[in-house]
Amino acid sequence: MTESNPVPYRSMGARRFGRVNWLGLYTLSRREIMRFMAVWQQTVFAPLMTAGLFVIVFSVALGRGDRQVMGLPYLAFLGPGILMMSVIQNAFANTSSSIISAKMQGNIVDTLMPPLSAGEILTGYLTGAVARAGLVALVIGAGMVLLIGQLPQHPLIAAGFILLGALLMGGLGLIGGILAQKFDQMAAISNFIVTPLSFLSGTFYSIDALPPFFRALSHANPIFYLIDGARYGFTGVSDSSPVLGFAVCGGVTLAVCGIAWWLLRTGYRLKP
């Protein structure tokens, strides 16, 4: 009898189809989704409450007297901006908190040891960010329909900008989580970079009301294009061209995700 050639053993974690470790990618993505769903009161319900408080406060302060912005009732103008602001903040928080917690607790090795490439790790983390941001967008969008009867006029465009926002801020959260070496450094990035950029991006006002210098400065803020694009998707009205917004946000997203991929590939501040 002739002995057949032995088949090399491969563990389930190393099984690949088409050069992609689908099992490992699925497991990492599922872990990231289950991580935020385990505390849905904080990750999903809390953003809804925050968005509702913004709407109540600004509608009482500025929404009376049939106030209009860009030809829209103020609440119709405000809603998409608050939705997108919640999306980007939650996408950033999901990836940044995941990776900084893993580093501080010493279990980042559980992510680095399995046979996952840098691209697969990046995709797994971004899947969690997109899932959390999408769920927050659905919840707040449903609230907008119930409270002010606002349905998106261009739902595919709105969904496209929400996806871009989740990917951009999820990638930025990965970079922040990798570079930060303790929780207060991560909090500083969130408080002094992410929050100001999101608040000063036309969420609560039209940039046409700004002086020329600050208007030009707003156009250099990629989050402005995310919020403006979401507003166009919901209302059909925007400060700038949605095509330009897609181009700017797409380019910045590719650059941010490319940097995150490089940091994961080199193991910068991840490997001992």
Alpha carbon 94 to its chain's center: 8
CA 243/CA 227 separation, integer angstroms = 14
What is residue 62's predicted lDDT score, i.e. its pLDDT? 65
The strand pairing partners of 17, in sequence order, are 20
Compute CA distances 82 → 34, 88, 186, 251, whole Å.
Answer: 25, 10, 23, 23
What is residue 222's predicted lDDT score, i.e. its pLDDT? 94
Q: What radius of gyration do the chain's Cα atoms show?
A: 21
What is residue 17's predicted lDDT score, i.e. its pLDDT? 46
- Shortest CA distance to 238 belongs to which of 71, 60, 82, 101? 71
What is residue 18's predicted lDDT score, i.e. its pLDDT? 53
- Shortest CA distance to 83 belongs to which of 39, 144, 132, 42? 144
CA 59/CA 231 separation, integer angstroms = 17
Splitting the chain (272 residues) into consecutive groups of 10 residues, what average pLDDT does each group show? Answer: 39 52 95 94 88 81 70 87 94 95 90 92 97 95 83 93 97 95 90 88 86 87 94 92 95 97 93 70
What is residue 127's predicted lDDT score, i.e. its pLDDT? 97
What is residue 65's predicted lDDT score, i.e. its pLDDT? 55
What is residue 19's predicted lDDT score, i.e. its pLDDT? 85
- pTM as predicted: 0.89
What is residue 272's predicted lDDT score, i.e. its pLDDT? 65
User: Contact 164/246 with Cβ under 8 angstroms?
Assistant: yes
Token reading at 4: 């057949």
Q: State the DSSP string of 225-266.
A: HHHHHHHHHHHS--SS-HHHHHHHHHHHHHHHHHHHHHHHHH
For residue range 67-94, what is the model confidence (pLDDT) as tens digits?
788 888 888 888 899 999 999 999 999 9
What is residue 7's predicted lDDT score, i.e. its pLDDT? 35
Alpha carbon 231 to its chain's center: 17
